[in-house]
Amino acid sequence: MAEYSRLAKGSFTSNGGVNFVNLPFKPDYVELLNFTAYTTPTATWVADAKWDVNMGQNAALYETITVTTLALVPAATTTGGVSSFSAGLMLQFGAQQQIIGATAANPIVFNVTAHGYVVGDIVMFEGLYQSATTGMSQLSGMMFKVSAVGDANHFSIVWPGAGSNYTALSGSPTGAYVKKVLYPFLYAPGVSYIEAITTGTTTTVVTTAPHNFVVGQEVAFRIPPSWGTVQLNSLPNNTQPGSPVYGYVISVTNATTVVVNINSTGYTAFNTNQTIAAVKAGLSFPQILAVGDVNTCGVAISSGSVLYPSPVINGVSTINGPAIQGAYVNNTRQGFSVGSVVASVASQTWFYRAFLHDISSP
């Protein structure tokens, strides 16, 4: 029977990591063909893959090309395969994992057994106390991009962890955990936490995770006093009380660095060397966020423009219609993802067929 079944087909170009395919439904079966591997066979490439929801998330059956004969050899995986997803209105997390240790440096290297993370994953920490008065709990509650993966048990994030108020972690401290944020960009640009600020005639801001800002975007700052550089805050405006002070993005250096047109010469230096005592007293984090409403920055919202039919958030198209650059975009979406075991090579063309069956049995 197929009265209520759904099916879709299409293609995507692999990025070597996790590839998201947005669909109007959440599939229970996916077939994949690597067009590049079939047209230019190369040893170790994955040629095709299949996934059924009953295999479990991140699993897949696939065929790789052998080294000598270029024959196809069957294989299976329970990680880095295919998953269905539905990103809703609240953050969803992967498994909570114990932190064995961490270096007090920049970047900070975390020791987590078989973490399974790849560069670009977004993670969140909790605890991080080495003792009642020492550790790295200043990081808990912020989202961070995984900047490097040393091996199966080590990964890094960029943060000035060498400050005098930071202490290395060791011996698997009680309550020290990390978990992956599965779909971190529910709204874009969203609110980004600040890792560094360079003051001057313009202001350069480094964020802990991708900011999703574009040139011309209007932004505001929320910086608690202990973090310094409070002169950037949008309120109060001493010249025009009640009128917030906003800046505009004049360049985007990379996914986590943006330049704003605010002249911050002489402003207080940004300070990440927060104390454990401040954490226990309720430390709040420095933020940069988009503001405004109708602000297309001169970009036409019409057929063929970059905002039509839907905006792209962190490299992934949304299911929304035309959007406004100055406002928040709802990134609610669903479909399936293909992980780094199956789509291990970047810039390959993959064709897919996805199904949602109205009748199925385990």
Q: Chain-wide mean pLDDT for the chain?
A: 88
Grade residue 218 by pLDDT with cuts at 50, 70 and 90.
Answer: confident
Cβ partners under 8 Å of residue 205, min gap 6 = 194, 196, 197, 211, 257, 258, 259, 260, 288
Read off the pTM: 0.75
On the question of pLDDT at 137 being above 90, the answer is yes
pLDDT for 240? 67
Phi, psi of 302 (to 5 degrees): -155, 170
What integer pLDDT is reported at residue 336 of this predicted model? Answer: 94
The helix/strand/coil state of 358 is coil
pLDDT band at 313 (very low <50, low <70, confident <90, very high): low
DSSP code at position 303: T
Minimum mean pLDDT range among 217-226, 243-252, 289-298: 289-298
Q: What are residue 35's phi and psi, to 5 degrees?
A: -60, -40
Confidence of residue 192 (pLDDT cuts 50, 70, 90): very high
Could you count the other beta carbons within 10 Å of the beta carbon of residue 171? Answer: 9
Q: Report the pLDDT averaged over residues 2-13.
A: 87
DSSP 8-state assignment for residue 230: G
Band the pLDDT of 126: cuts 50, 70, 90: very high
Between 322 and 346, the higher pLDDT residue: 346
Greater model confidence, 108 or 359: 108
